[in-house]
């Protein structure tokens, strides 16, 4: 069984990347996704793309026992016998925790793909935000995608490439738009690059909400804008899938950038997840209930 671990900060493009590689292959592929929050948005994105995925039940790898991950991997192997297992840890999970869990299962052949969001990587690194966390995500990778280069100028693109090269001179790097690599990715037998000093865990607050159907598309964008401006705490990532007055839609907030697009099929449930450092959950719930009526609740 081939194993690919896809690591990268919140919103860097992990799910987008996996949609390419899982759709491209003739192999039987299963994605193990450990999304933050309980809303299972990535799981629904994968199934909409016809990709088999299993969600790790309990929140984020950084906070749960390795045992959950191992149990889930064993179950996937037993139930599905995939030829390719792709693991998407949540953007705040440390890839070395996943590697440890695999090693204990005697799974030692895998490739780690690290995805860097070129719009924010240098800035976050220089500001030493989240400590050594990003450094570990890049230094442990066999392949690094410098993604979202459509959104940066040449200068920042070059700076990002230089920083990635300094942090991990051995990695094969690609500069990508929408995490698309236009050639088959090499299979790398992962060498042990686990840093001696582990990055500390990042623990964020998360909030999962359900929304009633038929909410206005614009009202969700306005709400995300307010979230990004810090009205309800320091929010680093939010996403939503909702049946809106314009049709089913997907919304993303990644470090201040909001994007939205219509979704090509009906949704099983309307929901939003929000992740941040100091979430004012009570106010978010109140505001959401005021704007969208009583259809708002915890998941």
Ligand X SMILES: Nc1nc2c(ncn2[C@@H]2O[C@H](COP(=O)(O)OP(=O)(O)O)[C@@H](O)[C@H]2O)c(=O)[nH]1
Q: If you ran DSSP here, which 8-state letter would residue 129 be given?
A: T
Which residue from 3, 4, 7, 13 is in contact with ligand X, where contact means CB under 6 A? 13
CB closer to ligand X, 178 vs 283: 178
Here the contacts of 213-216 (C-beta below 8 Å, separation 24 or greater) are 213/242, 213/243, 213/270, 213/295, 214/243, 214/244, 214/245, 215/242, 215/243, 215/244, 215/245, 215/270, 215/292, 216/244, 216/245
- Cα separation, 172 vs 170, in Å, equals 7
11 binds ligand X (CB under 6 A): yes
Q: If you ran DSSP here, which 8-state letter would residue 215 be given?
A: B
Residues 217-256 as x/- pattern, contact with ligand X by CB under 6 A:
-----------------------------------x-x--
- Do residues 189 and 274 lie in contact, with contact meaning Cβ atoms separated by under 8 Å? no
Q: Where is 86: in which H helix or E strand?
A: strand 84-88
Q: CB of residue 269 vs Mg ion: minimum separation in angstroms?
A: 18
15 binds Mg ion (CB under 5 A): yes
- Do residues 140 and 112 lie in contact, with contact meaning Cβ atoms separated by under 8 Å? yes
237 binds Mg ion (CB under 5 A): no
CB closer to ligand X, 33 vs 296: 33
Number of chain residues interacting with ligand X (CB under 6 A): 19
- Do residues 212 and 293 lie in contact, with contact meaning Cβ atoms separated by under 8 Å? yes
Number of chain residues interacting with Mg ion (CB under 5 A): 3
Which residue from 65, 129, 177, 203 is in contact with ligand X, where contact means CB under 6 A? 177
- Cα separation, 68 vs 74, in Å, equals 10
Which residue from 7, 10, 14, 202 is in contact with Mg ion, where contact means CB under 5 A? 14
Which residue from 4, 7, 15, 270 is in contact with ligand X, where contact means CB under 6 A? 15
Interaction site with ligand X (CB under 6 A): 8, 10-16, 91, 147-148, 150-151, 177-179, 252, 254, 259
Interaction site with Mg ion (CB under 5 A): 14-15, 42
């Amino acid at each position: 069984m081939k194993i690919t671990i896809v690591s990268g900060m919140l919103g860097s493009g992990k799910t987008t990347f996996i949609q390419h590689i899982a759709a491209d292959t003739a192999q039987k592929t299963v994605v193990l996704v450990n999304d933050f929050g309980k809303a299972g948005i990535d799981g629904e994105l994968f199934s909409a793309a016809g990709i088999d995925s299993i969600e790790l039940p309990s929140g984020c790898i950084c906070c749960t026992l390795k045992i959950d991950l191992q149990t889930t991997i064993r179950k996937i192997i037993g139930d599905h016998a995939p030829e390719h297992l792709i693991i998407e840890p949540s953007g705040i999970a440390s890839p070395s925790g996943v590697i440890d869990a695999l090693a204990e299962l005697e799974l030692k052949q895998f490739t780690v793909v690290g995805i860097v969001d070129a719009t924010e990587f240098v800035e976050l690194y220089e500001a030493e935000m989240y400590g050594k966390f990003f450094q570990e995500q890049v230094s442990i990778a066999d392949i690094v995608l410098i993604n979202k280069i459509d959104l940066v100028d040449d200068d920042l693109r070059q700076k990002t490439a230089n920083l990635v090269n300094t942090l991990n001179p051995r990695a094969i790097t690609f500069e990508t738009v929408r995490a698309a690599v236009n050639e088959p990715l090499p299979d790398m037998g992962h060498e042990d690059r686990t840093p001696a000093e582990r990055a500390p865990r990042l623990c964020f607050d998360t909030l999962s909400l359900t929304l009633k159907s038929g909410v206005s598309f614009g009202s969700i964008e306005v709400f995300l804008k307010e979230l990004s401006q810090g009205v309800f705490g320091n929010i680093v990532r939010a996403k939503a899938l909702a049946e809106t007055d314009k049709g089913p839609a997907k919304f993303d907030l990644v470090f201040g950038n909001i994007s939205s697009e219509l979704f090509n099929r009906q949704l099983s449930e309307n929901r939003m997840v929000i992740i941040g450092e100091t979430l004012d959950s009570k106010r978010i719930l109140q505001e959401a209930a005021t704007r969208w009526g009583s259809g708002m609740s915890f998941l």
